[in-house]
Amino acid sequence: MNESTKPQKKAVLFCTCSGICPSMTQIDFWALAERVRVELGDQIEFMALHPRLCEEDGERMMRQVLSDKIQFITPACAEKKQEKLLRDGFTKAGVPMDREHWIPVSMAKETTETVFNRIKLALAGQPQPTSPPAPPPPKPEGQS
């Protein structure tokens, strides 16, 4: 794909993992969607929110909305997981799952504020920050 055919339009497609994923308990999805609408809405064609994009009905929706003329930012589970779980949706829509068409944003273990900032970076074409490494496990008692 050359520069002239590169998608210029962007859309945000949230997957809320049913709203009960233990790794997303710090996210207020409604507040997040409204903040994206108010503060970043002029940069996006549209946004949509689905509770389970990786299920068959989610893939049907992806087939309806994905377009090779739009770059999709997908706030959902961790990037690697999205790469596996959203692949069928992209394939059924006939849209390549490359960086021109897809920017994953991880909401796993993040807060409303950090996800908002990640979406903002994605819209600006900036790389996503890497999550800090997990702290080392506690040492067994008696060891220093």
Minimum CB distance to ligand SF4, residue 141 (Å): 37
- Here the tokens at position 17 are 């993992």
Q: How many CA atoms lie within 13 A of 116 on its CB side?
A: 19
Rank residues 61 and 121 by Cβ distance to ligand SF4 and give the closer one: 61
Rank residues 53 and 115 by Cβ distance to ligand SF4 and give the closer one: 53
Touching ligand SF4, residues 5-64 (CB under 6 A) = 15, 17, 21, 52-54
Give the binding range for ligand SF4 (CB under 6 A) out of 60-68, 73-81, 92-100, 114-122: 73-81
Rank residues 43 and 49 by Cβ distance to ligand SF4 and give the closer one: 49
**Is residue 66 near ligand SF4 by the rule CB under 6 A?**
no
Residue spans of alpha helices (H) in 37-110? 56-65, 79-85, 87-93
Question: Are the C-beta atoms of residues 37 and 3 closer than 8 Å to each other?
Answer: no
Cα–Cα distance between 78 and 97 in angstroms, integer?
16
Rank residues 44 and 86 by Cβ distance to ligand SF4 and give the closer one: 86
Cα–Cα distance between 55 and 116 in angstroms, integer?
25
Touching ligand SF4, residues 100-119 (CB under 6 A) = none
Length of the chain: 144
Cα–Cα distance between 100 and 49 in angstroms, integer?
21
**Is residue 97 near ligand SF4 by the rule CB under 6 A?**
no
The footprint of ligand SF4 (CB under 6 A) covers 15, 17, 21, 52-54, 76-77, 81, 85-86
